[in-house]
Amino acid sequence: MKLASFKKEFLESITPLYNNDEARSLYYMLCEEYLALSKSKLIIAEDIDLSVEKTNHLYNCLERLKKNEPIQYVLGNTKFCGLNFFVNESVLIPRPETEELVNIILKNELGDKTILDIGSGSGCIAISLAKYYPNAKVTALDVSKDAIDLSKMNAKENDVNLEFINADILNYKSDKKYDIIVSNPPYVLEEEKKHMSKNILDYEPELALFVKNDDPLQFYKAILEFAKNSLNKYGKIYFEINEKYKDEIKRLTYDYGYSNIECKEDLFGRNRFCVIL
């Protein structure tokens, strides 16, 4: 089969779900990954013959995409902070906004710090900090054993050493002290499901996304409670937040005795991050 024939069928099949630009982007992402050809080469080499094995694999991926499965899960990997991360349905797909959280920490911190990433998922935050902040001692904590196992693979992939803890922050206690506690906890209300796209709801783990409507700050409370005994003097907490709860989170942190709280916007102009010290 010629690549041009597959491209034509791919775009015709996928455009009911995606617009033309998105469909072409998915096509190039898929072919770059499995044919090991750059986008520029794919554009000029559409007359190449695909082996039966590659043809079958590409069609299998197409069928998964037609069922709204995210391209990152189809490929089994994604990029975050310039690093490669394996992903599957046990972890959230790392978002560009969360890259900003990592960059805020990297710009603000110097020296040999101890860092705890709570709700680490794929390990994208913890591993990126360990990679670009090589003197830091980084620990990744997650309630999901599957997420921890995948995070260990990602640490090996990116040649960093981390400590891993499989635990639930809602009831976790520790004698260890940290200079930095960072978390992108679940903060999407269950009632917001109706506004979310099918590819998120059908494939990404609810455990890592949603909180109960009647307790939207559940995880922030637990982390602030944990930090009372586990954050070093002059330590900092970095949160990714739901912008609608910015003021509530600020009040909550004041209640826990913190007086210096700075909220920062993401690249879309939304209040997305809090730095607490």
Residue type, 169: I
Residue 39: what pLDDT? 92
Q: What is the DSSP string of 207-228?
A: HHHEE-TT-TTHHHHHHHHHHH
Residue 177: what pLDDT? 98
pLDDT tens for residues 14-71? 998 999 999 999 999 999 999 999 999 998 888 999 999 999 999 999 999 999 999 9
Domain 82-276 belongs in CATH node 3.40.50.2300: no
C-beta contacts of 51-59 below 8 A and 24+ residues apart? 55/1, 55/6, 58/6, 58/10, 58/30, 58/31, 58/34, 59/6
Cβ proximity of 190 and 212 under 8 Å: yes
Residue 109 confidence class, pLDDT cut points 50, 70, 90: confident
Average confidence score pLDDT of the chain: 95
Cβ proximity of 93 and 109 under 8 Å: no
pLDDT tens for residues 199-223? 899 999 999 999 988 899 999 999 9
Residue 265: what pLDDT? 95
Distance separating alpha carbons of residues 264 and 273, to the nearest angstrom? 5
Percent of the chain residues past pLDDT 90, beyond the cut: 88
Q: 277: closest CA among 179, 139, 156, 136?
A: 179
More confident residue, 47 or 72: 72
pLDDT tens for residues 80-102? 999 999 999 999 999 999 999 99
pLDDT at 164 over 90: yes
Indicate yes or no: pTM above 0.85: yes
